[in-house]
Amino acid sequence: YSVFSLALSAAVAGPCAFSAARHLHIPTMAKTAMAYKEKMKELSMLSLICSCFYPEPRNVNIYTYDDMEVKQINKRASGQAFELILKPPSPISEAPRTLASPKKKDLSLEEIQKKLEAAEERRKSQEAQVLKQLAEKREHEREVLQKALEENNNFSKMAEEKLILKMEQIKENREANLAAIIERLLEKERHAAEVRRNKELQVELSG
């Protein structure tokens, strides 16, 4: 509610006087302000008439006028004070608009057949894609296995070649050592034979 304080005063031997004091905030909308202004004018005239016909305050606490209430809040020797209560305008409720759901179109036999064929094509395409992926995976695994076998064979072949080369080197070294030993033995034998001949010659020459 919007509340105003309205003070009404009446003189005993003179013309009627009216004073009003506003409290709280007045709505800023022009239309509402004009309506309030008209109500205040009506209330002023009514209060003026009442004060002229009734010099003494009436024993009435609440006055009701359409969309407002005037409530007596206290009594004074010089006049009366009232509280003006304005009822808020009833909100205009708009009925919610319900959107009608679009009517579902009935499918013909031909359209159903086309949908079934399209679904079958999608199924076949997905199945072919899965089979293709499996084939590619198996091919990749086969290539990896083949490469591992080739690397293993190459390693074995290289190891065998290294072993053969090492054995040949060992054989050559052994033969070379054996030939050197035989050569040394022959050299010793020749030296011993030479020494024996020299001794025999010395014996013959001395005898």
Average pLDDT score over the chain: 73
- 177 part of a folded domain: yes
Per the structure, the count of domains in the chain is: 2
46 and 114: one domain? no
High-pLDDT (> 70) share of the chain, %: 51
The sheet with strand 2-10 has its strands ordered as 16-21, 2-10, 79-86, 68-75, 62-65
172 and 113: one domain? yes
The residue among 72 and 55 whose pLDDT is bigger is 72
The residue among 142 and 21 whose pLDDT is bigger is 142
pLDDT tens per residue across span 159-182: 999 999 999 999 999 999 999 999
Domain boundary among 51, 86, 121: 86
For residues 151 and 102, what is the distance between their CA atoms, to the nearest angstrom? 69
Is the pLDDT at 82 greater than 90? The verdict is no
The residue among 105 and 91 whose pLDDT is bigger is 105
207 and 112: one domain? yes
Give ∠ CA 35-41-45 in degrees, rounded to 5: 150
Task: Please classify residue 4 by burial: count the beta carbons closer than 10 Å to its beta carbon, then call 0-12 exposed, 13-18 middle and 19+ buried.
Answer: buried
Is the pLDDT at 94 greater than 80? The verdict is no
Domain that holds residue 6: 2-86
Number of continuous H segments (helices) and E segments (strands) in the chain: 2, 5
For residues 57 and 74, what is the distance between their CA atoms, to the nearest angstrom? 11
pLDDT tens per residue across span 119-142: 999 999 999 999 999 999 999 999
| Residue 4, φ and ψ in degrees, nearest 5 | -125, 150
- 17 part of a folded domain: yes
73 and 129: one domain? no
